[in-house]
Chain A
């Protein structure tokens, strides 16, 4: 996955309406820190770059490079786990 990718959640995966948890088939993934905010913006249309821009506004002062690496790492891990599609 790269900055221009437009990921979406895999079928049967959704955010819990209130808890920091991603509901997936046969389980849940706990979402630490800003992970919930990141996944909440994923819709199959928004690029990873746009999501990072929005996060930088939300968490002002965070270094862009570090944020980009963290977001891409998270999304790649989720893709490997099969709960995210590009």
Chain B
């Protein structure tokens, strides 16, 4: 499933998502990691990542997002941060905070960490711990005053879905008390483990309708104090999101094994081969790796999309979602009102209460 000839790419990637490990003390029901997690003994080495960070900076990438799994599970995290920063990258870390002492954080900040993102699962501790599949809520709360001691940008992520949306006002109030620089309120996106738990997490129409003005009011109220960004619930939208800013257009993800992917979920699409940073440099991968070529530009698009002016905005939506919901990775993203499959979202929004949770393991 590769395109005949490489599409000459004038696109320059901005960000590198570095999944440095899939190990994690949390088992969140909505985790975006693939269901087939990569083993620890096959992870890229320190030297591999150091090479990748240098190649990323040379390619024009500005931000590296260290994520996982839990990046803190890597003993060489300070070396990774230092080498990314030395290469000229802006260093962000997405973490559960579990296992992060003041001493360890000092080491990471000294190495060059600039931004830290901490997610919360609920306002209610028992529910938060249930969603995370571990007792992490109190630890996260206790970490916040420690973070504040450091010259570090701090983002709170509230991940919202049916199990916690009824408490949205209180959840936002909690975030305000924590006083981050940024606040993200993100509806779960249905990939990886979240897809497995979709019927448990899918919000109701009523919840979605109620949540929108609450988020808008918070945005207004927090203006100039906390920068708020909100992610809309996909299955309730009329037009698709510009997934990862367009395929092979802005972003590279490297998984713990070194496979370079155009997005988190790309491995679900059959027939895609991911080149490894163990075999190729990032510049070659960006320009020539068939996986990055596959949906780059608009040559793959169905006629409806090709003729649609929105293609400049959403770049044809999400290929993984098109595949997961229709079985065809080249189909119109079903979130789009012009998709013949748009109607299936309606049925997927129906609440099924008898489903049991499947924790990431």
Contact = CB atoms under 8 A, between A and B. Distances in A.
Interface of A: 10-14, 16-17, 21, 23-28, 79-82
Contacts of A81: 227
A11 B182 contact: no
B62 A82 contact: no
Nearest to B151: A11
Contact of B62 (A12, A21, A80): A21
B90 interface: yes
Interface stretch (B152-160, B189-197, B322-330): B152-160
B203 to A, nearest CB: 24
A51 B223 CA distance: 26
A26 B88 contact: no
A11 B224 contact: no
Interface string B124-161: 00000000000000000000000000011111000000
A13 B153 contact: yes
A82 B115 CA distance: 14
Given A12-B114, A28-B14, A80-B223, A23 B153 contact: no
Nearest to B88: A17
Contact of A25 (B88, B115, B151, B223): B115
13 contacts: A12-B153, A13-B153, A16-B62, A21-B62, A25-B155, A25-B182, A26-B63, A26-B182, A28-B14, A28-B62, A79-B224, A81-B227, A82-B182
Count chain A CB atoms within 10 A of each CB in B88, B155, B182 and give the residue with the most: B182
A10 B92 CA distance: 15
A28 B90 CA distance: 10
Interface of B: 14, 62-63, 88, 90, 92, 114-115, 151-155, 181-182, 223-227, 229
B92 A26 contact: yes
Given A25-B182, A79-B224, A81-B227, 6 more contacts: A14-B90, A17-B88, A25-B92, A25-B181, A26-B63, A82-B227
A26 B115 CA distance: 9
Count chain B CB atoms within 10 A of each CB in A11, A17, A23, A79 and give the residue with the most: A11
Contacts, number: 50
Nearest to A82: B227
Contacts of A16: 62
Given A79-B224, A81-B227, A11 B92 contact: no
A75 to B, nearest CB: 12
A56 to B, nearest CB: 28
B62 A11 contact: no
A71 B108 CA distance: 35
B153 A10 contact: yes
A81 to B, nearest CB: 7
A58 B71 CA distance: 46
B322 to A, nearest CB: 26
A12 B115 contact: yes
B227 A12 contact: no
B226 A82 contact: yes
Contacts of B153: 10-13, 24-25
B309 to A, nearest CB: 24
Contacts of A28: 14, 62-63
A24 to B, nearest CB: 8
A80 B181 CA distance: 12
Contacts of B115: 12, 25-26
A81 B222 CA distance: 11
A3 B151 CA distance: 26
B236 to A, nearest CB: 24
A12 B181 CA distance: 9
Contacts of A82: 181-182, 224-227
B323 to A, nearest CB: 27
Contacts of B229: 26
Contacts of B224: 79-80, 82
A31 B91 CA distance: 21
